[in-house]
Every structure is written in C-alpha cells, then in structure tokens.
Amino acid sequence: MKGILNINKDSGLTSAAVVAKVRRILGTRAVGHMGTLDPQGTGVLIIGVGKATRLFDFYLKKDKQYIADFDFGYTTDTLDGDGIITDKTDVIPTKAALVKALKGLVGELDQIPPQYSAKSIGGVRAYELARKGLTADVKPAKIRVDKFELIGQKSPTKYTFKIDCTSGTYIRSLCRDLAFAVGSLGCMTSIHRTRSGEFKDTDAVTVEQLETLKDNALISVEQALKKIPRIDFDLEFYQKISNGVRIETKKQIEPFTVYCNNELFGIGNSSDGKLKITTFLKD
C-alpha cells in the first residue's frame, strides 16, 4: 500500500490523532502527516502511506493557503481561542485601518513564533516550556506572505482573512502582529487550511469518509507528483538506477521525477551532471 491521502481534518483532533485513525482504518503502521495542523484547525492535512511517507520533506515545504478569523480587543497565552486571556484593550481597529496595516505584513518577513508552538528550543518543544510557566527564547524565522486579504467581517471585533504563505508561517503570529500594527490586541479564533501545495480542501475526504473508502481514497504517488518535470531513462539503465549507480545526464532541472521502463523510481536531481535520486519511492 503506497500513496497520498488528502484529509479534511475536523476541529478538535491533533494531526497525530488523525494519523492514528488512518493507521487503524488502513491496517498499516506506515503512515505519517506532511505538516501539522493545530488541533482547532480544519482543512487539508496531507498524509503519506507506505513509501510515500518518504515525501515528508518534499511536501512540508509546499506553500499553504488559510482562511482564519481574528478577534480584536484581547489576546491569550496561546494566541488562539484555546488559550487563557492574558490582556485586554478597548482599542478595536476599523476595517480601513486593518486593510492599510495588511500591506506591511506581505512579502519576506522575520516572524517570531508563538510561545506555544512546536519550535525546538535546546531540544525541547517551546510549548513544553510554556506549560511549565517558562518563557522560551524563540528566535525569529524567515517566512514569506504572498497574500494577506481581509475578506469579511463577522462582528464589530471579528474579521475573516485569507492568507497565502510559505510553510512554517504561524497564522496566530500574523494575528498578533496585525493587531500590534493597529495599536490593538488580537486572537485567532478559527483557522481552515484550504490548500497545501496542489492539494485543495474541495478534493479532500474526511476521516469518516475514509472509513468507507479505505485505500480507494489513496492518490497514487505518480498522480501526486505529476506536476513535477519527468525524465525517462532508457531501459539499459534500469539495473544501475535500481542499484543507486549515478549515471550521467545532461538534464539540469530539479527536482524531477525519475522513470525507467515507465516505472517511478523517485525524485532526483542532477546538479553535478549525474543522476542522484534524493527520495527513492520504487517498491
């Protein structure tokens, strides 16, 4: 069994809990998610099955799109609705002020992750330190926000935003920074991942649907990687590629999928003029 699952995660489930459910449903331990989604978050959670779990690094780096609600006038220790309120303010931004401030949060940014995050601090997760009442020395991380749009208003204090960003972006931190830019405080009260790379929520299946579909919901690795440039090698190289021998190739594009005899071997590159399979996927 090998392939990709595009799961539409329900709120209240951790990414690890979804993986556990998928393992039970499919009857295999070889299951892993390709980038976590907060427990309160919903939407696209990419899961690899079998050798497709080797695509973790490949999919983890994919750009994401989110729709999130930000409530202004208070903040919490976790920067989301699951936390404890730590501060309040009477300053509630106007729609015009928010739209103006959004311009300063698009592009390459140095973002400080939340104290309650999975960032590793000296080998310890930041959230583990925060739960002990300790303040983690969380360093800024380079991120990129391609789009940050205000798309609706749900109450005098709550607005809905659409964000296109790189992997590793904390939407809770964007809420905090946007609130700061307008002289207020903010808290992310909901988040839905609409897209992860080329996978969209409109094509995703719920865990409940997976109970019925089982492995029929699997997207083949070949289908999942079809948008990557493909290089086909002659049959004479089949054994060499199978044995990891680095054969010469003039192709300089990367990454690309490596095929021989119409069989997918994996993802490779040829930066030094020789084929190197970086992610081996063949059975």
Residue of 249, 225, 253 whose CA lies nearest to 237: 249
Q: Which two structure tokens, joined as six digits, stand for 270?
A: 């040829």
Q: Which helix (H) or strand (E) holds 38?
A: none
Q: What is the DSSP letter of 178?
A: H
Alpha helices per DSSP H over the chain: 15-26, 56-60, 95-102, 126-131, 171-181, 207-213, 221-224, 238-242
Count Cα neighbours of 279 within 13 Å in the Cβ-side half-sphere. 18
Question: How far, in Å, are 78, 83, 138, 218 from residue 86 at the CA level?
Answer: 10, 9, 19, 44
Known active-site residue 38: yes
Burial class (CB within 10 angstroms; exposed 0-12, middle 13-18, buried 19+) of 139: exposed
Provide CB contacts within 8 A for 153, sequence distance 6+: 95, 159, 160
Residue tagged active-site, from 38, 71, 164, 201:
38
Q: Which amino acids are annotated catalytic? A: 38
